[in-house]
Chain A
Amino acid sequence: MTAYTATVTVRLKHGVLDPEAETTKQALERLGFELDSLRSADRFEIDLEADSSEAARERADEMAERLLANPTIHDYDVEVDER
């Protein structure tokens, strides 16, 4: 077994309104920053042990499918690194 960190990033699907990001963007503009747009995302760093990076990825994928992301509104990606 090898120790891995699987990083799952969950973000809203393209086209789904993100009112919190819009509010954050406006707050940055109030502080005098110039920016075109801002997107937010949730990142989960999951330490786990698995036989291979493929197995670690598969497990993290399933975590995203079943809980971390809501497929109605989210896309997600998974990165796996040895730790």
Chain B
Amino acid sequence: MTVSIIRFGGSNCDRDAERALSHLDIDAEIVWHEDGLPADTTGIVLPGGFSYGDYLRAGAMAARSPIMAEVRDAAADGTPVLGVCNGAQVGCESGLTDGAFTTNESARFQCEHVYLRVERDDTLWTAAYDEGDVIEIPIAHGEGRYEISEERLAELEDDDRVLFRYCDEDGEPSAEANPNGSKHNVAGILGDRETVAVLMPHPERATLPDVGPTDGQGVLRGFESA
């Protein structure tokens, strides 16, 4: 099994993801987008960064690159796909997940540690946690505000598709704990299949013990069952 980490021009968390997965003994390799998806791919990471310089909208260009058609096919076949930060923006732009991540309410780039409440513990991305757990993971984005119509968000919530919400230390998803103005404090959501997930916070930056909290490990362990 090999997790393919797809590198676009401007990706910059691809090596972080590779190192974090290696630390968890999960086989992973970086794949240049023009080379296409390797046949032995058993999982896919859309990494963070600034693909195509965020031209037009963050993730807009990468979402329409040819490899994304292969990613969508793989996702439809049940291959686990995780989009992180710019990868989450690519995921929404490509239709893998609903909604859009757009300019932070502050109109600023924000780089800080945040708390997330685990909304479900029965997905492969969250099996390591219990529902309601509060985990600490860093964010680093200028366009992370989750935007979607209230009607569609209500449908997603009814379907239990919200995976993580920004919260305070006690697990309360308050306005103060919402770093970017995301609707209903949404930090991460699931696609049509629960094997597809995107989130703005960086689990790969909260995996190696040398760099701080390791609460992100559980998300990446989703690839263990792939």
Measured between alpha carbons, how far is A3 from B195 in the docked complex, in Å? 48
Q: How many chain B residues touch the partner (CB < 8 A)?
A: 20
Contact residues of A between 43 and 83, Cβ < 8 Å to B: 66-68, 70, 72-73
Contact residues of A between 1 and 43, Cβ < 8 Å to B: 16-20, 22-23
User: B213 within 8 Å of A by Cβ?
Assistant: no
Contact A72:B64 (CB < 8 A) given known A17-B105, A17-B145, A23-B107:
no
Measured between alpha carbons, how far is A66 from B60 in the docked complex, in Å? 10
CB distance from A37 to the nearest CB of B (A): 16
Contact B103 A20 (CB under 8 A): yes
What chain A residues lie within 8 Å of B148 (beta carbons)?
A: 72
Contact residues of B between 56 and 94, Cβ < 8 Å to A: 56-57, 60, 64, 92-93
> Which residue of the partner chain, among B56, B145, B149, contacts A67 with CB atoms under 8 Å?
B56
User: B217 within 8 Å of A by Cβ?
Assistant: no
Contact A19:B147 (CB < 8 A) given known A67-B60, A70-B57, A72-B99:
no
Measured between alpha carbons, how far is A72 from B99 in the docked complex, in Å? 6
What chain A residues lie within 8 Å of B60 (beta carbons)?
A: 67, 70
Contact A68 B102 (CB under 8 A): no
Contact B105 A19 (CB under 8 A): yes
Contact B103 A16 (CB under 8 A): no
Measured between alpha carbons, how far is A17 from B146 in the docked complex, in Å? 11
Contact A72:B100 (CB < 8 A) given known A16-B147, A17-B181, A67-B60:
yes
A-B contact pairs, 14 of them (CB 8 A): A17-B145, A18-B103, A19-B103, A19-B105, A19-B106, A20-B103, A67-B64, A70-B57, A70-B93, A72-B98, A72-B99, A72-B100, A72-B149, A73-B100
